[in-house]
């Protein structure tokens, strides 16, 4: 399925459900299954207000989040039943997006999860959504690059439907773990997403500044889903003070930057969504126009880099027990890139444990296609390649991981 623009998303589910009876005594997903009529009515109101896409209420329906709430072995059941509620509400009038959100878990050194385990968490949820018949996937409110990569790889392994990935960041454009959203954009669009988004965290005015930072690297349309302003606490309650007319004030500026998908996050409701469509009158999709087509655009997990073609190779680092120390030394060297050679399976564990220390563009040397695929699965950036593998052998990894030859 191909997406046609512009598209209007829905507004908040969480804050709207709180207005409609959700008291937080159990996880939202379990409450919705006990009160499906509330969710259905809310989504019908969003569609009436102009939403072309509604998010299935599967935000926290991954294994980790459900188990934190005492719900075990129910991932497939919960996701299928939650998607069914949205499909009934949509009734063919809107697309239903399978909503995948953060696991809340971290890879080493911040946590103890491996990337393979993170992938498995998302694969289980994505597979259930695909079986439930979602029209597309939204990976949203993401705060780490590993979460986004794992979820995207999992989705693409079970479906060929469109995927939107949406991050949340601070006022400087950094995620919870310090990744610049410019790096996230470079990594994920190279892996084949259909749109890159920002949601939550801020109101539209603050989000506009981050969209400006992304524009020169974008090769896909933007999705914009801000809060109804910055949250404030009044008499012990969280209040959002951006009314509908103010909320849509920057819509046309967003379109000029390449935004083509619009919605609302925390604090927004059907009344906010209803104001979007009039602002899109005369909409023309601003086709992406990256300013660096003749450059090498790559990224570590934390930062994006723009390199000149023909960059000189760095001294090759062999994997070993001191790999992290060698990477740290290379970070301080005069070379613009770091080059690491992967020789055998035993190198993978050392690479996975040390790769978070990479602070420069990474070039991987490897002459075994299967081994290279495993390395690229683990690396949380967009890497360059040097070696003797053929273009035919490398092509799948260019598509899957955004590998730069």
* CB-based contact 167:143 (threshold 8 Å): yes
Same fold? 7-279, 296-401:
yes
Two tokens at 310?
Answer: 């023909």
Q: Where are the domains of the chain?
A: 7-279, 296-401
Place of tokens 């299935």: 56
Specify the CATH number for 296-401; select among 2.40.50.140, 1.10.760.10, 3.40.50.300, 3.20.20.20.
3.20.20.20
pLDDT along the chain (405 residues), means of 10: 94 95 95 98 98 98 97 98 98 98 89 94 98 98 97 98 97 94 98 97 93 94 94 80 95 96 97 98 83 88 94 88 96 95 95 95 97 97 96 98 97
List phi, psi (to 5°) of 42. Answer: -60, -45
Two tokens at 129?
Answer: 């959504």
401 Cβ neighbours under 8 A, 6+ residues apart: 190, 191, 376, 377, 379, 382, 383
**Alpha-carbon distance 179 to 387, whole Å?**
29
**Alpha-carbon distance 36 to 17, whole Å?**
11
* DSSP of 164-180: EEEE---TTSB-TTS-B
* CB-based contact 381:187 (threshold 8 Å): yes
Q: Which CATH class name applies to 7-279?
A: alpha beta
* CB-based contact 167:210 (threshold 8 Å): no
Q: How much is the pLDDT for 115?
A: 95
**What is the number of alpha carbons within 13 Å of residue 257 lying toward its C-beta?**
24
Query: Could you give the strand order of the β-sheet that contains 316-318, starting from the edge strand earlier in sequence?
Result: 316-318, 338-341, 362-365, 384-386
Query: Could you give the strand order of the β-sheet that contains 195-199, starting from the edge strand earlier in sequence?
Result: 7-8, 259-262, 222-225, 195-199, 163-167, 136-142, 95-100, 53-55
- State whether the Cα torsion 12-168-208-381 is positive or negative: negative
Pairing of strands 259-262, 222-225: parallel
Q: In a 10 Å sphere around its CB, with 0-12 CB exposed, 13-18 middle and 19+ buried, how is residue 312 labelled?
A: exposed
| Total-model pTM | 0.96
Place of tokens 């490398």: 394
The number of beta carbons lying within 10 Å of the beta carbon of residue 67 is 13
**Alpha-carbon distance 71 to 377, whole Å?**
30
Residue 109: cis peptide before it, omega within 30 degrees of 0 = yes
Radius of gyration of the chain (CA): 21
Q: How many residues does the chain have?
A: 405
Classify residue 142 by its DSSP letter: E
* CB-based contact 165:139 (threshold 8 Å): yes
147-148-149 Cα angle (round to 5): 95
Q: In a 10 Å sphere around its CB, with 0-12 CB exposed, 13-18 middle and 19+ buried, how is residue 129 labelled?
A: buried
């Amino acid at each position: 399925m191909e997406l046609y623009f512009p598209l209007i998303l829905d507004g908040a589910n969480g804050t709207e459900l709180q207005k409609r009876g959700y008291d937080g005594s159990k996880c939202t997903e379990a409450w919705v299954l006990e009160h499906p009529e509330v969710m259905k009515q809310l989504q019908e109101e969003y569609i009436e207000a102009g939403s072309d896409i509604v998010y299935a209420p599967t935000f926290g329906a991954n294994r980790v989040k459900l188990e934190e709430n005492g719900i075990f072995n129910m991932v497939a059941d919960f996701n299928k039943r939650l998607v069914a509620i949205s499909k009934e509400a949509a009734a063919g009038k809107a697309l239903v997006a399978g909503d995948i959100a953060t696991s809340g878990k971290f890879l080493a050194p911040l946590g103890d999860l491996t990337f393979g385990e993170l992938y498995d968490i998302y694969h289980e949820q994505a597979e259930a959504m695909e079986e439930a018949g979602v029209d597309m996937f939204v990976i949203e409110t993401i705060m780490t690059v590993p979460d986004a990569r794992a979820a995207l790889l999992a989705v693409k392994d079970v479906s060929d439907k469109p995927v939107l990935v949406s991050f949340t960041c601070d006022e400087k454009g950094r995620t919870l773990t310090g990744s610049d959203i410019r790096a996230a954009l470079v990594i994920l669009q190279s892996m084949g997403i259909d749109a890159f988004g920002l949601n939550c965290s801020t109101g539209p005015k603050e989000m506009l500044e981050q969209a400006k930072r992304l524009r020169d690297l974008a090769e896909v349309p933007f999705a914009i889903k801000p809060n109804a302003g910055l949250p404030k606490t009044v008499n012990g309650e969280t209040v959002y003070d951006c009314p509908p007319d103010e909320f849509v004030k920057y819509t046309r500026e967003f379109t000029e930057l390449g935004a083509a998908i619009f919605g609302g996050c925390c604090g927004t409701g059907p009344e906010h969504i209803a104001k979007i469509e009039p602002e899109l009158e005369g909409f023309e999709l601003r086709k992406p126009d990256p300013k660096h087509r003749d450059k090498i655009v790559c990224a570590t997990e934390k930062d994006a880099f723009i390199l000149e073609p023909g960059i000189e190779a760095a001294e090759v680092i062999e994997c070993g027990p001191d790999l992290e120390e060698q990477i740290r030394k290379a970070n301080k060297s005069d070379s613009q890139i770091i080059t690491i050679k992967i020789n055998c399976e035993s190198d993978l564990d050392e690479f996975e444990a040390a790769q978070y220390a990479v602070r420069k563009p990474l070039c991987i040397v490897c002459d075994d296609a299967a081994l290279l695929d495993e390395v690229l699965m683990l690396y949380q950036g967009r890497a360059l390649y040097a070696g003797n593998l053929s273009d035919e052998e490398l092509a799948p990894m260019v598509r899957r991981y955004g590998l730069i030859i």
